[in-house]
Amino acid sequence: MKLFYPSIIVILFLLSIFDLIVGLINDAVNFLNSAIGSRAASRRIIMIFSSLGILLGAFLSSGMMEVARKGVFNPSYFYFSDVIFIFLAVMISDIILLDIFNTLGLPTSTTVSMVFCLLGGAFSIAMIKISSLSSNEPFHNLSLYIKAEKILTISIGIFLSIIISFISGAIIHYFIRLFFSFEYEKRLKYVGVIWTAISLSSMTYFLIVRGLNSTLQGIMNDNFTYFSLLMKSLTEWIHHNFFIFLLVLFLFWIVIAKIFVYLGYNILKFVVLYGTFSLAMAFAGNDLVNFIGIPIASIQSYNIWKKAGSPPSEEFNMKSLSGNVQVPSSFLIISGMIMILTLWFSDKTKNITRTEINLSRQNEGPEKFLSNSFSRGIVRFFLFLEKKIFVLFPKRILVKIEKNFKPRKEVNEAFDLVRASANLTISSILISIATVQRLPLSTTFVTFMVSMGTSLSDRAWDRESAVYRVSGVLQVIRGWFLTGFIAFVISGITATFLYYFRGFAVISIVLFIIFTILYRIYNKYHENIEEDKYFLILEYPIKISLNKTFDILKFILSKIENIYKNSIKGITKENLKNLQYSRKNFLKLKENFNNIHNTLTKVIRKNSDPSTGIFYLHIYNKTKDIIESSDIITDHTLFHVINCHKPLKNKQKKNLLKLEKFMNENFDLMKKIIKEKNFKDIKFPCSIQIRIIKEIEEQINQQVIGIIHDKYGTKNTFLMLDILLQSKKITESIQDIMLLSQETIFHSKKDASFLSF
Lowest mean pLDDT among 511-515, 559-563, 625-629, 636-640: 511-515
- CA dihedral angle for residue 81, residue 84, residue 90, residue 96, rounded to 10 degrees: -100
Lowest mean pLDDT among 204-213, 555-564, 575-584, 660-669: 204-213
Q: How far apart are CA 389 and CA 386, in angstroms?
A: 5
Averaged over 690-711, what is the pLDDT? 88
Is 504 among the domain residues? no
Its pTM surpasses 0.95? no
Lowest mean pLDDT among 243-247, 333-337, 571-575, 743-747: 743-747
Is 92 among the domain residues? yes
Averaged over 257-280, what is the pLDDT? 88
Phi, psi of 683 (to 5 degrees): -110, 125
Residue 65 backbone class (left: φ over 0; alpha: ψ -120 to 50; beta: rest):
beta
Q: How far apart are CA 120 and CA 113, in angstroms?
A: 10
Q: Answer yes or no: do 456 and 556 share one domain.
A: no
Q: How far apart are CA 83 and CA 413, in angstroms?
A: 49
Res. 199: pLDDT tops 70: yes
Please identify, among 492, 521, 555, the residue that sits at the C-terminal boundary of a domain: 492
Based on the number of CB atoms within 10 Å of its own CB, is 633 exposed (0-12), middle (13-18) or buried (19 or more)?
Answer: buried
Strands (E), 413-507: none
Q: How far apart are CA 592 and CA 544, in angstroms?
A: 18
- Top mean-pLDDT range of 400-404, 484-488, 611-615, 712-716: 484-488
Q: Answer yes or no: do 158 and 30 share one domain.
A: yes
Residue 317 CA: distances (Å) to CA of 9, 74, 90, 291: 19, 11, 20, 25
Nearest to 281, CA basis, from 355, 350, 168, 204? 204
Q: Answer yes or no: do 22 and 91 share one domain.
A: yes
Res. 723: pLDDT tops 90: yes
Q: How far apart are CA 485 and CA 179, in angstroms?
A: 43
Q: Answer yes or no: do 73 and 128 share one domain.
A: yes
Q: Answer yes or no: do 165 and 249 share one domain.
A: yes
Is 147 among the domain residues? yes
Lowest mean pLDDT among 190-204, 224-238, 571-585: 224-238
Place 555 in a pLDDT band, splitting at 50, 70 and 90.
confident
Quickly list DSSP for 379-391.
HHHHHHHHHHHHT
Residue 599 CA: distances (Å) to CA of 156, 534, 586, 630: 41, 16, 20, 22
The range of the structural domain enclosing residue 729 comes to: 532-748
User: How many residues in total does the chain contain?
Assistant: 757
Average pLDDT of the chain to the nearest whole number: 79
Segment 557-576, tens digit of pLDDT: 888 999 999 999 999 998 88
Res. 223: pLDDT tops 60: no
DSSP state of 79: B
Nearest to 200, CA basis, from 266, 261, 246? 246
Place 412 in a pLDDT band, splitting at 50, 70 and 90.
low
Lowest mean pLDDT among 29-33, 55-59, 140-144, 219-223: 219-223
Q: How far apart are CA 186 and CA 306, in angstroms?
A: 69
What pLDDT is stored for residue 67 in this prediction? Answer: 52
Please tell me which residue, 541 or 430, carries the higher pLDDT value. Answer: 430
Q: How far apart are CA 316 and CA 299, in angstroms?
A: 15
Is 526 among the domain residues? no
Nearest to 119, CA basis, from 483, 446, 439, 437? 483
CATH number at residue 677: 1.20.58.220
- Describe the crossing of helices 687-708 and 714-743 by its angle, rounded to 10 degrees: 160
Averaged over 709-729, what is the pLDDT? 88
Q: Answer yes or no: do 424 and 557 share one domain.
A: no
Please tell me which residue, 231 or 528, carries the higher pLDDT value. Answer: 231
Is 513 among the domain residues? no
Res. 530: pLDDT tops 60: no
Q: Answer yes or no: do 99 and 216 share one domain.
A: yes
What pLDDT is stored for residue 679 in this prediction? Answer: 60
Q: Answer yes or no: do 553 and 472 share one domain.
A: no
Q: How far apart are CA 416 and CA 446, in angstroms?
A: 20
Residue type, 229: L
- CA dihedral angle for residue 310, residue 311, residue 313, residue 315, rounded to 10 degrees: -160
Segment 114-126, tens digit of pLDDT: 888 888 999 999 9
Q: How far apart are CA 275 and CA 203, in angstroms?
A: 6
Is 757 among the domain residues? no
Averaged over 288-301, what is the pLDDT? 78
> Do 583 and 635 touch, CB atoms closer than 8 A?
yes
Q: How many CB atoms lie within 10 A of CB 141?
A: 14
Place 481 in a pLDDT band, splitting at 50, 70 and 90.
confident
How many Å separate Cα 692 from the centre of its chain? 45
Segment 348-399, tens digit of pLDDT: 666 656 666 767 776 665 566 667 788 888 888 888 887 888 787 788 888 8
Please tell me which residue, 464 or 190, carries the higher pLDDT value. Answer: 190
Sequence-distant (≥ 6) Cβ neighbours of residue 86 within 8 angstroms: 73, 78, 118, 121, 122, 125, 495
Q: What angle do CA 315, 316, 319 make, to 5 degrees?
A: 130
Domain total in the chain = 2
Strands (E), 398-543: none
Share of the chain above pLDDT 90, in %: 13
Res. 259: pLDDT tops 70: yes
Please tell me which residue, 206 or 499, carries the higher pLDDT value. Answer: 499
Place 726 in a pLDDT band, splitting at 50, 70 and 90.
very high
- Top mean-pLDDT range of 30-34, 366-370, 431-435: 30-34
Place 41 in a pLDDT band, splitting at 50, 70 and 90.
confident
Q: Answer yes or no: do 559 and 439 share one domain.
A: no
Q: Answer yes or no: do 546 and 457 share one domain.
A: no
What pLDDT is stored for residue 744 in this prediction? Answer: 63
Please tell me which residue, 380 or 22, carries the higher pLDDT value. Answer: 380
Averaged over 594-619, what is the pLDDT? 67
Res. 646: pLDDT tops 80: yes
Q: How many CB atoms lie within 10 A of CB 66?
A: 15
Place 295 in a pLDDT band, splitting at 50, 70 and 90.
confident
The residues facing 79 across adjacent strands are: 317
Is 505 among the domain residues? no
What pLDDT is stored for residue 520 in this prediction? Answer: 64
What pLDDT is stored for residue 63 in this prediction? Answer: 45
Averaged over 323-350, what is the pLDDT? 74
Q: Answer yes or no: do 584 and 471 share one domain.
A: no
Lowest mean pLDDT among 136-140, 218-222, 227-231, 710-714: 218-222
Q: Answer yes or no: do 191 and 120 share one domain.
A: yes
Please tell me which residue, 619 or 665, carries the higher pLDDT value. Answer: 665
Q: How far apart are CA 104 and CA 752, in angstroms?
A: 35
Share of the chain above pLDDT 70, in %: 77
